[in-house]
Structure 1
Amino acid sequence: MFNSKMLITFVCLLSICCFFASSQNVLSSSQNTSSSQTTSLQDISTQDISFIYEEPIKGLKLYTTVTFTLDNSLMIWMAFEDKDPACMLPYLHLRLMNKTGRIKYMDFNYTLPLEAICPITAKLLPLTKNHAMITYVKLNNGVKEKYGIIINYSNESTINEIYLGNANGFVRRSIVPDKGLISIEKPDKEGIATWRLFSLPDITTGKVVERKNGEFHAPNLLSYTLVDSLNFLLTDGGFGFMYILKYDETKESSVIDPNLQYWRVYVSFLREGADSPTIPSLVYQTTKKLNNLTIKSCSVTYNAEGYVCIMTLNNTITNIKKSNKSQTEINYYQLRFLSTGALERLNIISNPTNNTDIDLITLYYGGFLVEHIHGAMDFYLLDDSGNYMQSQGSFGPEFVYFNIYTLNNTIVGIKNQTNNKLEFLLKSLPRLNNQSTDYYCPVIETTNPAINEVVDPSIKEIIIKYTIPVKLSTGNVSIFQQSDDPSKPALLRQTFSGDYKLCTVGSDNYTVHIPIFESTFSQPNSSYYVLVDNNFVISQERDEPLMGIGNKIWMLSTEPLKTVRYSDSVTGLLRLNEEGSLKFLQTNHSVFFKNMIREFSKTIPVAEQRLSTSGRWQYDPTSSKKILLSFNIKEAKDDHAIELNSQTIFEILRTLIKQKRFTALSSNEYTSLIDESAPFIMTRNYFEEYRSLIIIFIVGLVVLIILYILARLKNPEAKNSVIFDTWFIIQDFAVDLAFVLLKVNNTPHLKIQHCAICTIRIVFFFFSFLKKIFFLEHHLLDEHEQDYCLQFL
């Protein structure tokens, strides 16, 4: 267990390494955890982190670990061993360690298919923060095929089997979080590789849908033989496919061509949104009769130089000085090419181990990592040109599992399990490009506002400054408001592509200015994040797409609402487009209004009780096929809660409608039917607003007229108009009093002045009323005296 000093040391190391790590030890069914720190016999620097994980379920053994690059979490798959060493028991136990070091324990109540666990063919592919896919191979009519099942981390969804293709295919998730996954089969004898593009699991049902499919075709198979193929991820969310071809010498002519290319490497791109891949481009060829040519891996470059592949050339050379003795040499090269298929760079990579049995990894922040396993695992750092820089240490022979966390430049080694304990060691690697470590994007220098900054709701723009000159492209920049409920998705506030002419590039060509709508940061005391898609901008020099900023990295917030200026209820009028107008006429009107109010409530957002409708509608006089709908925004009723006033909500909704195509309104079933070309205008239904007062006035007026007629009939000579004067004095007092009482909330800082004026009005009314009564009595008395005198005479 940690004492306080060790705990402080652990937290400091965690901050330095920018990586998650924590020791977890389940103490009870409530999954309380604790941490313990250990040392190891291997090379450990002061910045390394070592910790022990204790598995709470006895008998579970580590099967494998997988990194989830979207949030730098580590998935630990634990399993029960079977009597047959080629099998394991079908129970699924996953441990998800997030970047804060906490472990989520997932012990599923269903079993895996037999084909996945005996013999073991199962592989784990994390897809989203709630779902993963387990792929496996099974036999159908004598043919091995690959299938997948979707599992929900909450253990709620039903396992549905998905056909993925032949057994030798590859399944990969797009580099862009919401772009789905692909299954690419190994090419057949004719060089045809079938691909299938799938959606990500539905957030509620977990269902995966096949969106499209097609084929990759290898070129030049008349003279060449397809030796191998490789797939890789594209920056824009698509997928690349590489072919390695060797000249077929059985078809060689009697005349030897000295310029004959014995080996060729082609690449084809299935870009995001495309229905078919590009025509293969030749990126490498050689006249040497190599023993073999292999591509180890391909990945995106951090500095907008396209893609980099690790290529090995196996060649036999003859040493004339040593009696023509032959020897085999294996050299490593980096092959860089652009998304157009044009070759960018080809150069040899140094091998500091002088051993051919090495692994080379391209690092996200530049350079390469050389791994050499010879009992222990040594690793070395190379620069962008492949030149040796320095040794980065080693893991001892007791470490059997290794993972690398791309965004953190960190290697984790796991020792062989002892009883129920797993020991982890994390080693942080230097970043050759140390710019923008907070954004996990090496080409971003700064942003304004910065991460975790409090923004003014009236902010007009946000700014991104890049490290290289850029141009706007087709990727989106989006702003989301986080939900108070972690189980609910974030609310989209605005989104548009870089090339839609709303964004601008500054005169320095390094800064991008992104406009902000008035409705975007309108909610007080809320958290937001800016999501920048890959390919939002491209480099000016090469037109290569740049990496963006992922989910919940560029976080922003707004201050709590302290005071609110009161406003009355507001009525607004909007117009439906032709499709919406037709649907309105064909749908129950009350249902249509109710659904639209519900969608407004979620999008603004505001309590649904603040929105209502009279149900009134009419055809637009300026466009006979379009319909106008009326909606009411009620004033805030809760005196104890600080809420947005009705006028502010109206302005938010007006902006959302004006910018509908860039806001969440466009993605809803009913609000998407609004015609954004017609503004949301404020209207006043005076009869509805003052109906009660009008009724009171009319009834009072009728009563007065009746009283006046009766008085007139009884005494035609009297000044019966005093009845009206008295009524108007009472009405004036009532209106003044109602105005003061109802409108005092508009100016709370003038409440004392309102009360003083109200008191003066009451006194004035009292004396005016007494005056009228006195006049009336005096007038009646004079008439009575006149009658008495006439009778006396």
Structure 2
Amino acid sequence: MYLGAWINSTIQLNINKKLGFLRFDSNQSYWSWGQYSIDDSGNLVSGDKTRMNTIDRMTLYRYSNSPITIISTVDNGYVIVTVFDGILESYKKSDNSDSLLPRGGLHAFFISYNKTETSYNINFKGTDIYQISQPNMTISSVYCDTTDIYIMCIVSVNNKITMHYVSIIFDSSGVVRSRKVISDVTGLSQQSWSAKILPFGGFILGLTAYNNIDNNTYHYIYAYNISNSQIPLKSPGPFLTNYFGANAITNNNTFLLALPYAIDNISWSLLTIPVPTDYGYDNTLVKQTIPSINSIVNSSTTTLNITFVYNIALSTGNITIYKASNNSIRQRISATMQEFCKIDGYTVSIKIINSTFNEYGEQYFVTMDSNFVRRIQTNEPLKGIHDGIWILKSDNFDIYSDAILGSARLTTDASKSFLKRNQLSYIDTLLVEFAHKVPIHRSRLSTNYRFEVLNGQIAIPIHIDMARNKTERSSSKVFSDLNNMITYKNITTFSSGMTNDLDQDYGFKEIKNYWNEHKVQIIIGFVIFIIFYLILNYKFKSKIFEAISSAILGLPNFILSVLFVIYYSDDVPELYWPRYSTK
């Protein structure tokens, strides 16, 4: 770093942008690279750093500084692909016994994500992915990128007379899966073709050339699939372009080309050339999802299914469901959670809890990390689904329900901390977090602040008021949401903040209102009692009956008084039931 700036450096973003980037620099003697990320406060955090000599004393290779390409891999690592020269002149044998050894080629170095150690390796291990065995041949250019499952490189090899192009496909362990010569590059001089790897497999060869006859600049492109067969384009070209022939490939497999300058030589526009694409997920390996893109979901949606074109096995990545309006996480599932992830051949099924899609008129999007699943046959990690692709919409309409009184319990450790702090403030903050994370309007949540201590754990009573209109979640559904988000807090936003203090084994339990539950039976019993009393009083008028009837009439009063103290003493400060104890 010089004067606060990195110079002569190459920056490569991780395939998962949240994991930061790799910085690479070099000189004639060594390479060095380091991994960096941005923390939640926006600070740059430095990770693994490695230095490697450009001369390997074991293989006698000399790695050149150019051309070098750096690729992000599906398993969140990186690959550095570089040209190497064969045996150094000072090490060649006079009898030419080393003439069968490689005279150069391509070498790949594999870098795992987020190593913990710092190393300064004299010989950092990699693997050859292409070797030149004949003299007077050099590699002129290298274009590499990650496809849905493998890494693909297009290499131009020059023998000073003719340019040849070779496609190389290899996996994340360095095993070369395919190495083919591209034999049908025709039409113009084979010099100076550039290559671009298509996101869904295959590649494009392109060339910008000036036509001396009509004094225009044209761009020629040829598209190929992963088997090196040409793909017919709807518009075969050539295409008029500007002097630079500026072009790019978008994530949806569209080729963008700069058109000639406008008359004022200031403005210009883009030509879009579609290339055969996928099933709509920016991933040719994902064949279908249920629900599909833009489908309707609600609280009764209990499963997400993703079907691939290969037999798959679970790996290590995550599937995350976000609320689109504020990018908050509704549910995050790791492939290692067997309770939530099931595989059936080509399809993975994800269990969804009822609180995930619980808001009326909201949009959600589902992302799948690369390396969430692997292809069984090759054990290669598969590419995921990035944000903004798999969008779902909710249409929740709830049936009216009465207000509900429930309780949430703190963990043992959180209960000890609770008793030493401002308890009213703690409960207020907890209710604010409930309102934000469920979500529910804060005015519908209330408490009398009279917590209960049982077996060393605090239980806090919470009242859920009835919905104010039909678009709001009913009190019974909010009760269910709270129970689910506490029970499964490790996969919801309840895993952070004050809600993480809640006991997931307890969940959210209803505090019974016995009058509402049994009022019909009580009223009927009371009416029957009055009728019998009047009949008996009419037939037996005596002092003994008056004494018996007074006792009978007093018994219900005694029983109801005891029940009142048991269940409602919290609401009357003068009453206190011994089971509520803070000791």
TM-score normalised per structure 1: 0.58
| 1:330 alignment partner in structure 2 | 163
Q: How does 1:323-472 map to 2 (within 5 A)?
A: 327-350=160-183, 351-352=185-186, 353-375=188-210, 376-390=218-232, 392-398=236-242, 400=244, 401-416=246-261, 418-419=263-264, 422-431=267-276, 434-436=277-279, 438-472=280-314
Secondary structure of 2:378's counterpart equals: coil
Secondary structure of 1:422's counterpart equals: coil
Q: Which runs of 4+ in 1 moved over 6 A?
A: none
Contact between 1:184 and 1:196, CA under 8 Å: does it hold in 2?
no
Provide the C-alpha distance between the structure 2 equivalents of 1:524 and 1:498, rounded to a whole number of angstroms.
29
Secondary structure of 2:94's counterpart equals: coil
Q: CA deviation at 1:551?
A: 1.2
User: Paired residue for 1:266, among 107, 112, 127?
Assistant: 107
| 1:296 alignment partner in structure 2 | 142
Q: CA deviation at 1:641?
A: 5.4
User: Paired residue for 1:285, among 131, 135, 139?
Assistant: 131
| 2:500 alignment partner in structure 1 | 672
Contact between 2:451 and 2:461, CA under 8 Å: does it hold in 1?
no
Return closer, same or farther for 1:389/1:555 CA change in 2, 3 Å cut-off: closer
Matched, 1:518 2:359: no
Contact between 2:163 and 2:190, CA under 8 Å: does it hold in 1?
no
- 1:535-574 Cα offsets, whole Å, 9 max, x none, are 111111211121222212211122142x523222312132
Matched, 1:571 2:412: no
Q: CA deviation at 1:506?
A: 4.7
| 2:441 alignment partner in structure 1 | 607
Provide the C-alpha distance between the structure 1 equivalents of 2:32 and 2:237, rounded to a whole number of angstroms.
41
Return closer, same or farther for 1:659/1:560 CA change in 2, 3 Å cut-off: closer
Letter paired with 2:88 = D
- Unaligned runs of 5+ residues in structure 2 are 211-217, 516-542, 558-583
| 1:238 alignment partner in structure 2 | 77
Q: CA deviation at 1:575?
A: 2.5
Contact between 2:105 and 2:131, CA under 8 Å: does it hold in 1?
yes
Q: CA deviation at 1:683?
A: 2.9
Q: CA deviation at 1:389?
A: 4.6
Contact between 1:503 and 1:512, CA under 8 Å: does it hold in 2?
no
Structure of higher CA gyration radius: 1
Contact between 1:402 and 1:414, CA under 8 Å: does it hold in 2?
no
Letter paired with 1:199 = I
| 1:757 alignment partner in structure 2 | none
Matched, 1:542 2:378: yes
Return closer, same or farther for 1:538/1:637 CA change in 2, 3 Å cut-off: closer
Provide the C-alpha distance between the structure 2 equivalents of 1:270 and 1:535, rounded to a whole number of angstroms.
16
- 1:601-645 Cα offsets, whole Å, 9 max, x none, are 111111122223333445541xx4xx323041321263x554323
Provide the C-alpha distance between the structure 2 equivalents of 1:220 and 1:399, rounded to a whole number of angstroms.
40
Q: CA deviation at 1:139?
A: 5.6
Provide the C-alpha distance between the structure 2 equivalents of 1:139 and 1:573, rounded to a whole number of angstroms.
56
Contact between 2:207 and 2:220, CA under 8 Å: does it hold in 1?
yes
Provide the C-alpha distance between the structure 1 equivalents of 2:341 and 2:406, rounded to a whole number of angstroms.
36
- 1:735-764 Cα offsets, whole Å, 9 max, x none, are xxxxxxxxxxxxxxxxxxxxxxxxxxxxxx
| 1:529 alignment partner in structure 2 | 365
Q: CA deviation at 1:593?
A: 2.0
Contact between 1:240 and 1:268, CA under 8 Å: does it hold in 2?
yes
Provide the C-alpha distance between the structure 2 equivalents of 1:216 and 1:336, rounded to a whole number of angstroms.
27
| 2:572 alignment partner in structure 1 | none
Return closer, same or farther for 1:464/1:593 CA change in 2, 3 Å cut-off: same
User: Paired residue for 2:462, among 628, 632, 635?
Assistant: 632
Provide the C-alpha distance between the structure 1 equivalents of 2:405 and 2:288, rounded to a whole number of angstroms.
42
Contact between 2:289 and 2:306, CA under 8 Å: does it hold in 1?
yes
- 1:437-462 Cα offsets, whole Å, 9 max, x none, are x2111111111111111124212212
Provide the C-alpha distance between the structure 2 equivalents of 1:637 and 1:265, rounded to a whole number of angstroms.
66
- 1:220-265 Cα offsets, whole Å, 9 max, x none, are 6222222133211112333222233213112223342233222253
- 1:690-743 Cα offsets, whole Å, 9 max, x none, are xxxxxxxxxxxxxxxxxxxxxxxxxxx9x999xx99x99xx9xxxxxxxxxxxx
Q: CA deviation at 1:373?
A: 1.2
TM-score normalised per structure 2: 0.78
Letter paired with 1:225 = R
Return closer, same or farther for 1:670/1:245 CA change in 2, 3 Å cut-off: same
Provide the C-alpha distance between the structure 2 equivalents of 1:620 and 1:185, rounded to a whole number of angstroms.
62
Provide the C-alpha distance between the structure 1 equivalents of 2:133 and 2:253, rounded to a whole number of angstroms.
41
Q: CA deviation at 1:655?
A: 0.7
- Unaligned runs of 5+ residues in structure 1 are 1-137, 148-164, 316-326, 484-488, 688-716, 732-793
Contact between 1:173 and 1:182, CA under 8 Å: does it hold in 2?
yes
Provide the C-alpha distance between the structure 1 equivalents of 2:54 and 2:266, rounded to a whole number of angstroms.
52
| 2:156 alignment partner in structure 1 | 312
| 1:712 alignment partner in structure 2 | none
User: Paired residue for 1:646, among 460, 471, 475?
Assistant: 475
- How many residue pairs are counted as aligned between the two chains? 503
Contact between 2:54 and 2:62, CA under 8 Å: does it hold in 1?
no
Contact between 2:304 and 2:352, CA under 8 Å: does it hold in 1?
yes
Provide the C-alpha distance between the structure 2 equivalents of 1:289 and 1:584, rounded to a whole number of angstroms.
78
